[in-house]
Amino acid sequence: MDWREYAVPDCPPSIYYVPNFITEEEETSILQAISKTPKPRWTQLSNRRLINYGGIPHPKGMIAEDMPVWLTQYVMRINQLNIFEQGIEANHVLVNEYLPGQGIMPHLDGPLFYPTIATISCGSHTVLEYDRQIEMGPSDNTSLVRESVTKVLIEPCSLLVVKEDMYHKYFHSIKEQEQDTIDGNIANLRLLSKGKLGDVLPRGTRVSLTIRHVPKTSKMKIKIF
């Protein structure tokens, strides 16, 4: 599978959407493994909960941790696709769990990570929105506003790869709502495995595995499992 053949059309470079990247059986296995995660491993936020695997990124460097076996196979699969530059491999996974109606505010992932991410989605769809920040008003009194750039519908079992300009320049977010409508603003409409214009999709519980590389990492690993 060459992920480069799945470039999302009609939006800034570089974003790729691969439907059915994992099987439904693999999706079930992932969700079962995550459901068994001890509660203390979760970090509860106001709009979602999350787990860091591989370590906790920090400006002074990430203290590396071993990942669970069930997760390692998916990290290896991403590394085999050569999504990162030669010699760079994923060493961190952020697991996010979103309940129906939950989302995340517009943000950039920032300089702690190599500017390429690969996200495997499980459980439910969502819509990822991209905005750019522009200055408005006279030169002596400008204000920053965000302007919508594109929307991407993320299906269960899919893979999303985000690189370069789409990583550096464009804020991404998920609106806090309980359903989404497939409209003409969905940039990856032609790449979807199912669904058509006008469909209304109720959200369920979504779990995402965001697989990435943290450059500044200690060589010593600790085991937590």
Percentage with pLDDT > 90 across the chain: 80
Q: Is the peptide bond before 14 cis (omega within 30 degrees of 0)?
A: yes
Question: 106-132: per-residue pLDDT in tens?
Answer: 999 988 999 999 999 999 999 999 999
Decide which of 195 and 28 is more confident: 28
Q: Which residues pair with 112 in a beta bridge?
A: none
Which is nearest to 128 in space by CA: 6, 4, 3, 11?
11
* 67 and 145 Cβ atoms separated by less than 8 Å: no
What average pLDDT does the structure give for the chain?
Answer: 92
> How buried is 68 (Cβ within 10 angstroms: 0-12 exposed, 13-18 middle, 19+ buried)?
middle
Question: 23-65: per-residue pLDDT in tens?
Answer: 999 999 999 999 999 999 999 999 999 999 999 998 888 999 9
Chain center to CA of 113: 13
Say if residue 219's pLDDT is above 70: no
pLDDT of residue 143: 64
Bridge-based pairing state of the strands 116-122 and 159-163: antiparallel
Question: 77-94: per-residue pLDDT in tens?
Answer: 999 999 998 889 999 999
Predicted TM-score (pTM) of this structure: 0.92
Residue type, 126: T
Number of other CB atoms surrounding residue 166 within 10 Å: 24
Average the pLDDT over 179-185 and give the result: 95
Positive or negative: CA dihedral 41, 64, 114, 86: negative
pLDDT of residue 218: 77
Number of other CB atoms surrounding residue 84 within 10 Å: 20
Decide which of 79 and 142 is more confident: 79
* Interatomic CA distance for residues 214 and 79, integer angstroms: 14
Say if residue 137's pLDDT is above 60: no
